[in-house]
Structure 1
């Protein structure tokens, strides 16, 4: 009986140790809810997420969800992530208002949720790792208006209506226009192309027909739409260099267009946003012993403070793409 009791105790101790070791080695499961994965910028975020040191080492495991540009689909995927007991959720939301449910439901389940890239109209998330879209919209519009010397006619190609990018980049666009002399800049058209190069091409073709020889500048709220406008200009037999054009994101084709002198791009750091989000998510799950592993905290030292992973918002800096830095940015895509 004594031998049996000792064996039982030994077995229980072994199981306890094994369970503890498993708890230490099991990866942190993070659901990453992307609004849609067709655009290169989102694809870059996914790529850089997989390259995060904690993911490479197996400390964290990412599960990506394609929201298919539909807020209700994203909400359903958020609930699925909760039901499957993910340790944390990172969400790149489609809609400023409609996707608040993801934060609400995650909070109810006790799951930390980090909002990245786009924003939500709530302060109840664990943290945000974003770039200031008002500033981004301002920078791109200033590039166009600077080239036009604050005089002429522009069109604005907007992001999906109701998304924070469209709302806040639009505010930045308006801020830049308001700094020009009153009445010096006319906005001939503004309409959404839903972040799509193809939709922007169609839109720009229509505008070139409706306003022949009148459009001087194109303010596109992302690079894909700026590139669609460039294609439309070429298709119309016009010279791209006769237009002042700007976009946001720093996607690869836009970097090439900057190098060719065809447009300005304001780089939104996909690596910074997703890897910063992963570090903040891991800090929320693992506690104060966690130290950030992404290179971005050193890259932006002085402009981006880790603050023990406890800040309500982290602003990843913008970079205006120029002739001086475009080659280095293109080399990073190889």
Structure 2
């Protein structure tokens, strides 16, 4: 009888051990809240998420939400993710202030939340994986102003009002303009086109008519809007090369435009931002046993340190797109 009891005890212990092991091996569920899915840059982020090694080997399961460019939609999607027992949340926020609610809700549910690409006006997130938008805005404006020899008139096409990209790239734009000196650069117009090529084109068409022959430079806070401005310039029968134009992101059409000498683009690494975010999310859920699997940590080894996945901010470097590196960047997306 005692022998049978020992066997039963060992069987129960073995079963419990196997159950615990199975529980440990359950894939990590990650909800990815994107502000919208229309632009190529966001699609590059989604592609990077699907290609992360932990996702490809089944260690993580991702669910991508389309926020439809509405911060309230993103907040509601965070509620859904929490209710469906997600293990971690990655958010690319639409609004610098309104989407703080996502961090608040995640913290209350004890779910790690990683902010990626854009910023939120809080330090209560688990971590953020971003690029310095003030620096990005400065770099693009500097490229425009250097071509203008720091003299003349510019228009600034802004991102969605209230988003961290519009706020911080705008700061960088203003810093570069100020460095030219008082009265050197006049900003003729400054309005949002909501990151949209389709919205930027008619905006630029109106400005070309209103300020006929007076616009020397176009500072667009992303590439899509710069490309919309280029289409408007061509549609008006003007020479694109007679304007100084720059944008941010390094989307494929902008890289082609760089090759054609039509604009400058500052590459924001969508792959690194998303894959870095997934590594941080996995570390936050699995603990010290998890080691980063993305190649980005080797790619940027001299500028980006893993630090055991415990830093609150990871800053992805910018890359200026040139005719020399353009094809290499395009080939990496195939």
Q: For residues 205-244 of structure 1, what are the structure 2 equivalents within 5 Å?
A: 205-244=205-244
- Structure 1 Cα separation of the partners of residues 213 and 237 of structure 2: 12
Residues 64-83 of structure 1 aligned to structure 2 (within 5 Å):
64-83=64-83
Q: Distance in 1 between matches of 2:13 and 2:238?
A: 78
Q: 2:181 aligns to what SS in structure 1?
A: coil
Q: Separation in 2 of the partners of 1:2 and 1:73?
A: 62
Find the aligned partners of 1:36 and 1:171 in 2 and give their Cα distance.
24
Q: Offset at 1:140?
A: 0.2
The answer to whether structure 1 residue 324 and structure 2 residue 324 are counterparts is: yes
Secondary structure in 2 matching 1:320: strand
In the alignment, which residue of structure 2 is the partner of 1:132?
132
Aligned to 1:264: 264
- Range that drifts further, 16-25 or 32-41: 16-25
In structure 2, what is the Cα distance between the partners aligned to 1:138 and 1:116? 20
Offset at 1:104?
A: 0.5
Separation (CA, whole Å) in 1 of partners of 2:52 and 2:279: 9
Per the TM alignment, residue 324 of structure 1 is displaced from its structure 2 partner at its CA by 1.4
Cα offset for 1:178?
0.3
How far 1:5 sits from its partner (Å)?
Answer: 4.6
The runs of 5 or more residues in structure 2 that have no matched partner are none
Residue 254 of structure 1, CA deviation: 0.3
The within-5 A match list for 1:50-61 is: 50-61=50-61
Tell me what 1:108 maps to. 108
Q: Distance in 2 between matches of 1:4 and 1:152?
A: 92
Query: Counterpart of 1:116 in 2: which secondary structure?
Result: strand
The question of 1:119 aligning with 2:113 is answered no
CA distance in 2, matches of 1:216, 1:53: 46
Aligned residues: 334
Q: Which residue of 1 aligns with 2:19?
A: 19
Cα distance in structure 2, aligned partners of 1:300 and 1:61? 26
TM-score (norm 2): 0.98
Deviation, 1:19, is 1.2
Following superposition, the deviation at residue 263 of structure 1 comes to: 0.3
Distance 2:74 2:201 in 1: 28
Counterpart for residue 300 of structure 2: 300
Q: How far, CA to CA, are the matches of 2:66 and 2:4 in structure 1? A: 55
Post-superposition shift, 1:22?
A: 1.3
What's the counterpart of residue 9 of structure 2? 9
Consecutive unaligned residues of structure 1, counting only runs of 5 or more, are none
Q: CA deviation at 1:21?
A: 2.3
Taking the aligned partners of 1:291 and 1:2, their CA distance within structure 2 comes to 45
> CA–CA distance in 2 between the matches of 1:83 and 1:13?
33
Distance 2:221 2:2 in 1: 76
Distance in 1 between the 2:230 and 2:286 partners?
Answer: 47
In the alignment, does 2:168 pair up with 1:199? no
Tell me the TM-score normalised to structure 1 length.
0.98
RMSD: 1.2
Structure 1 residues 109-134: Cα deviation after superposition (integer angstroms, max 9, x where no partner): 10000000000000000000000000
